[in-house]
Chain A
Amino acid sequence: MQAQATQIIHAYKQAPWRVQRQYVGAFLLAVIGISMIAALYLQVTARAAATGREIQEMRFEITTMQRANADLETQLANLTSTAEMEHRAQALGYRPVKPGELDYVAVPGFVAPEPAILLAAEDVTEYSQSLPSEYTQSLVEWLDERVKTGGY
């Protein structure tokens, strides 16, 4: 009885339609896998291309903005040029000050601010100039330093 049941199960497993379905399943699985990889590759490539295009457009935009910025700076400089400012001041009823008309007030600790163009940049002057003492010290200065520091 048990042997008969085993035979039926074995016959079922060996059924041709079942083997074919396994082949079809494997094939479909491969197709789906390849499709997924292809889709993923396509998506990544498309995104890279789109980003690349965006970079190109943004670079173009940067150039356009730099041009606009330079144009605006020049326009602003034209509007605030000495000749223009003098003309506008005179139109408003101002005249140049004379030395005797000035009053001076001492403001302790006041330091005139640097122009905006310099404030925007990092000062690297000191770094560029700070050579190690080995390169700037004379022999006499070196000896003097040694004596003062007790040889250390």
Chain B
Amino acid sequence: MRQQYAVRSLVLIVGFAFVALAVIVQMIRIQNSEQAKIFLSQGDQYSGEFRMFYPERGEIYDRNGHLLAGNRTVYELGVNLSQMENPQTLASTLGTYLGLTYEDVYDQLTNSPKSWEYIVIQDYVGTETVTALQKLMQQKKDANDNSLSGLGFKPHFQRSYPENSLASNVLGFVTRDGRGYFGIEEKYNDLLAGNPVQVWVPTDPNRASELPKVPNGTTLVLTLNRDLQAQVENILDTSISNYGAENGAIIVMDPRTGDILAMATTPRLDLNNYTNYFSTYDNGSQYNRAIGMAYEAGSVVKILTMAAALDTGTVSPNTTFIDTGSIDVGGITIHNWDRKPWGQQDMIGCLQHSLNVCLAWISTQMGPQTFYGYMERFGLGHPTGIDLSGEAMGRLKVPGDTDWYNVDLGTNAFGQGVTVTPLQLMMAASAIANDGKMVTPHVLYSMLRDGHQYNVPSQYAGSPIRSETAHTLTDMLTVSLEGESSSALVPGYRIAGKTGTAQIPTDYGYDDTHTNASFIGWGPVDDPQFMIYVWLQKPSASIWSSETAAPVFSQVAEQTVILLNIPPDMVRNQFGSR
């Protein structure tokens, strides 16, 4: 009996062992078969996906931490065709919510190529619309209605400008493809955009740690003061309207550091509707005419001529000049702006009455080599190197150029025949306001990335004149303004400055009816904290800058001292003496 049980047990054991072995053999055979490789590769397709990670574009702030350019969430709205149950309802709903026609949406949903699983109905859909659609979907789901199944939303960022057109000429804009155009957005596009990363994203939760961490783009802090920028834009717009000017530009800079505190130009673009660019501008140089448009600035250039003459010792403030109303340079007769003789003048008088003849005489006394050497050192004919895209470099003809004539030595001395941008003149004049040291203007104050801050240091672009020359000329310009009771003066503050009324060159000589009115000034003269440049293009109320640009300078200076907390000279001196 026991023997029988033993045999049966053995048979059963062998039988089970055989079955188990067969299962194992079959498992190994299947796993190593050709089909298994195909199955594995098919499985891999669902184990994850290649996905492009776009970092959040860096934000842009003003120097006081006000957001000038940020990001907001918008949605790509699409339909998963394999999950779609009711194209009619989808077409009707999407047509209503997205402002599309039923036929268009229905056509997209039903006539797409069969290989397509997902189609985009509309991108950059706002949060409000998406929230309303999500609410409707939930209501239908609660009622066991699947007519909107397949509808999906993919969130992503879109550039947003909370201040709309404020400082648009400095900021530039970002198009839907994520590329920056003009201004800061173009100049620092790579920094702001960060580095997009394409990676394999596994669906296996055990491989969650393999998900990449994509750092955001660099956040930039600008030197701009938002409130001052708003005030300056407001003054510019009002002035253009009051004086009947075509366009204009105003820049406020700290002459000690080169920080651009405000830079206003016209026309400006609402950056949230950048597609209006082509209807607003004829060409790119108009986008920021403070840096992109060179023009003959006229008498404001006289301060550079005088600086060179003082620095070389060609003249001193007390040097006298007998003005006969004309001077011959290179065989061409040069006249004063009023074509009248002004008699005996010292150098302050020459600046105060803006005498072309006097300045032409000074440049001939210096000679072309010295004069153009100084103009080059002041940076004329070269870009300033400001960190904004689209800078023009103007034109300074020099001896040896095919279009340079002897008379240019005389006319260039009072700003005719030489083209500059407003910013170039500011940079050159910063040497006069800043003890002879010329600063490189810049808009970037600081960069922030991964919790670290990098401040952009001020850069000097050389010392074209001596410190004594800078002080002497500043005093001359201050006395000159005060002597003529200029409308550029600011009560309580000593200001140095110079007007510039320039005829406009055309293909047929100079236009007698229109001018470019400019003014450059800085203050307080004992401790310059701001430098302001005003340019009004073709003002019709008056052709003279003393009646247009000069009062605009005064208005801007008044707002500047308020917003930068610069006390009047008397108060500052009281504080200083304590």
Residues of A within 8 A of B (CB): 45, 48-53, 55-56, 59, 66-68, 70-71, 73-74, 76-78, 80-83, 86, 97, 99-100, 102, 104, 106, 115-118, 120-125, 128-129
Chain B 205-245 near chain A by CB (<8 Å), digits 1 or 0: 11111010000000101000011001000000000000000
Q: Is B208 in contact with A115, judged by CB distance below 8 angstroms?
A: no
Q: Is B71 in contact with A122, judged by CB distance below 8 angstroms?
A: no
Q: Is A129 in contact with B162, judged by CB distance below 8 angstroms?
A: no
Given A122-B451, A128-B454, A117 and B70 touching (CB < 8 A)?
Answer: no
A119 and B157 alpha carbons, distance in the complex (Å): 26
Of A67, A76, A77, the most chain B CB neighbours within 10 A belong to A77
Asked if B56 is an interface residue, CB under 8 A from chain A, the answer is yes
Distance in angstroms from A46 CB to nearest chain B CB is: 10
Residues of A within 8 A of B206 (CB): 45, 48-49, 52
- From A52, A106, A122, A128, contact of B207 by CB (8 A): A52
Given A67-B155, A121-B452, A129-B457, A106 and B67 touching (CB < 8 A)?
Answer: no
Main secondary structure of the interface of B (DSSP, over half): mixed
Residues of A within 8 A of B164 (CB): 81, 83
**Closest A residue to B163 using CB positions:** A81
Given A55-B208, A82-B163, A82-B230, A99 and B70 touching (CB < 8 A)?
Answer: no
- From B67, B453, B578, contact of A73 by CB (8 A): B67
Asked if B365 is an interface residue, CB under 8 A from chain A, the answer is no
Q: Top 5 nearest A-B pairs by Cβ distance?
A: A115-B65, A52-B205, A77-B162, A121-B453, A77-B67
A73 and B166 alpha carbons, distance in the complex (Å): 18
Q: Is A115 in contact with B64, judged by CB distance below 8 angstroms?
A: yes
Residues of A within 8 A of B163 (CB): 77, 81-83
Asked if B72 is an interface residue, CB under 8 A from chain A, the answer is yes
Residues of B within 8 A of A116 (CB): 65
Chain B 466-496 near chain A by CB (<8 Å), digits 1 or 0: 0000000000000000000000001110000
Distance in angstroms from B63 CB to nearest chain A CB is: 7
Main secondary structure of the interface of A (DSSP, over half): helix
**Closest B residue to A52 using CB positions:** B205
**Closest B residue to A102 using CB positions:** B562
Distance in angstroms from B569 CB to nearest chain A CB is: 12
**Closest A residue to B233 using CB positions:** A82
Q: Is B71 in contact with A70, judged by CB distance below 8 angstroms?
A: yes
Asked if B561 is an interface residue, CB under 8 A from chain A, the answer is yes
Give chain B's interface residue range (CB within 8 Å of chain A): 35 or more
Distance in angstroms from A74 CB to nearest chain B CB is: 4
**Closest A residue to B156 using CB positions:** A67
A104 and B572 alpha carbons, distance in the complex (Å): 9
A7 and B230 alpha carbons, distance in the complex (Å): 113
Asked if B345 is an interface residue, CB under 8 A from chain A, the answer is no
A52 and B205 alpha carbons, distance in the complex (Å): 4
Residues of B within 8 A of A (CB): 56, 59, 61, 63-67, 70-73, 127, 155, 157, 160, 162-164, 166, 204-209, 211, 219, 221, 226-227, 230, 446, 448, 451-455, 457, 490-492, 558, 561-562, 565, 567-568, 571, 575, 578
Q: Is B492 in contact with A99, judged by CB distance below 8 angstroms?
A: yes
A138 and B568 alpha carbons, distance in the complex (Å): 43
Given A70-B56, A102-B562, A122-B452, A117 and B205 touching (CB < 8 A)?
Answer: no
Residues of A within 8 A of B457 (CB): 125, 129
Q: Is A74 in contact with B455, judged by CB distance below 8 angstroms?
A: no
Given A104-B571, A117-B61, A77 and B166 touching (CB < 8 A)?
Answer: no
A-B contact pairs, 28 of them (CB 8 A): A48-B205, A48-B206, A51-B208, A52-B207, A53-B208, A55-B211, A67-B73, A67-B155, A68-B73, A71-B73, A71-B127, A73-B70, A74-B71, A74-B162, A77-B66, A77-B67, A81-B166, A99-B491, A99-B561, A99-B568, A100-B491, A104-B571, A117-B219, A118-B446, A123-B453, A124-B453, A125-B453, A128-B454
Residues of B within 8 A of A67 (CB): 73, 155, 157
A73 and B59 alpha carbons, distance in the complex (Å): 10
Of A48, A66, A78, the most chain B CB neighbours within 10 A belong to A78
**Closest A residue to B205 using CB positions:** A52
**Closest A residue to B449 using CB positions:** A121
Distance in angstroms from B479 CB to nearest chain A CB is: 23
Q: Is A121 in contact with B451, judged by CB distance below 8 angstroms?
A: yes
Given A77-B162, A82-B230, A71 and B454 touching (CB < 8 A)?
Answer: no
Extra contacts, 4 of them, besides A82-B226, A99-B568, A120-B451 (Cβ < 8 A), are A59-B208, A78-B162, A82-B166, A123-B455
**Closest B residue to A76 using CB positions:** B67
- From B127, B155, B558, contact of A99 by CB (8 A): B558
Q: Is B70 in contact with A70, judged by CB distance below 8 angstroms?
A: yes
Q: Is A56 in contact with B211, judged by CB distance below 8 angstroms?
A: yes
Given A52-B206, A118-B453, A82 and B72 touching (CB < 8 A)?
Answer: no
Given A48-B206, A73-B67, A117 and B221 touching (CB < 8 A)?
Answer: yes
Distance in angstroms from A131 CB to nearest chain B CB is: 13
Q: Is A97 in contact with B562, judged by CB distance below 8 angstroms?
A: yes
Given A67-B155, A82-B227, A125 and B205 touching (CB < 8 A)?
Answer: no
Residues of A within 8 A of B568 (CB): 99
Q: Is B454 in contact with A125, judged by CB distance below 8 angstroms?
A: yes
**Closest B residue to A104 using CB positions:** B567
- From A52, A70, A78, A100, contact of B208 by CB (8 A): A52
- From A70, A102, A104, contact of B73 by CB (8 A): A70
Q: Is B453 in contact with A66, judged by CB distance below 8 angstroms?
A: no
Of B127, B452, B492, B565, the most chain A CB neighbours within 10 A belong to B452
A80 and B68 alpha carbons, distance in the complex (Å): 11
Q: Is B558 in contact with A56, judged by CB distance below 8 angstroms?
A: no
**Closest B residue to A100 using CB positions:** B491
Distance in angstroms from B321 CB to nearest chain A CB is: 38
Residues of A within 8 A of B227 (CB): 82
A50 and B446 alpha carbons, distance in the complex (Å): 43
A49 and B203 alpha carbons, distance in the complex (Å): 11
Q: Is A74 in contact with B70, judged by CB distance below 8 angstroms?
A: yes
A53 and B230 alpha carbons, distance in the complex (Å): 50
Residues of B within 8 A of A45 (CB): 206
Given A82-B166, A117-B221, A74 and B578 touching (CB < 8 A)?
Answer: no
A52 and B491 alpha carbons, distance in the complex (Å): 69
Distance in angstroms from B228 CB to nearest chain A CB is: 10
Residues of A within 8 A of B127 (CB): 71
